[in-house]
Amino acid sequence: QKEVEQDPGPLSVPEGAIVSLNCTYSNSAFQYFMWYRQYSRKGPELLMYTYSSGNKEDGRFTAQVDKSSKYISLFIRDSQPSDSATYLCAMSEGTGGFKTIFGAGTRLFVKA
Partner 1 sequence: DSGVTQTPKHLITATGQRVTLRCSPRSGDLSVYWYQQSLDQGLQFLIQYYNGEERAKGNILERFSAQQFPDLHSELNLSSLELGDSALYFCASSVGHGGLAGGDGELFFGEGSRLTVL
Can you give the binding site for partner 1, defined by CB under 8 A? 6, 32, 34, 41-46, 48-49, 88, 90, 92, 95-100, 102-105
For partner 1, the closer CB: 17 or 31 = 31
- Positive or negative, the CA dihedral 61, 65, 66, 71 is positive
For partner 1, the closer CB: 79 or 92 = 92
Cα distance between residue 54 and residue 30, in whole Å: 14
State the minimum distance, in angstroms, from the CB of residue 58 to partner 1: 11
For partner 1, the closer CB: 14 or 96 = 96
State the minimum distance, in angstroms, from the CB of residue 104 to partner 1: 4
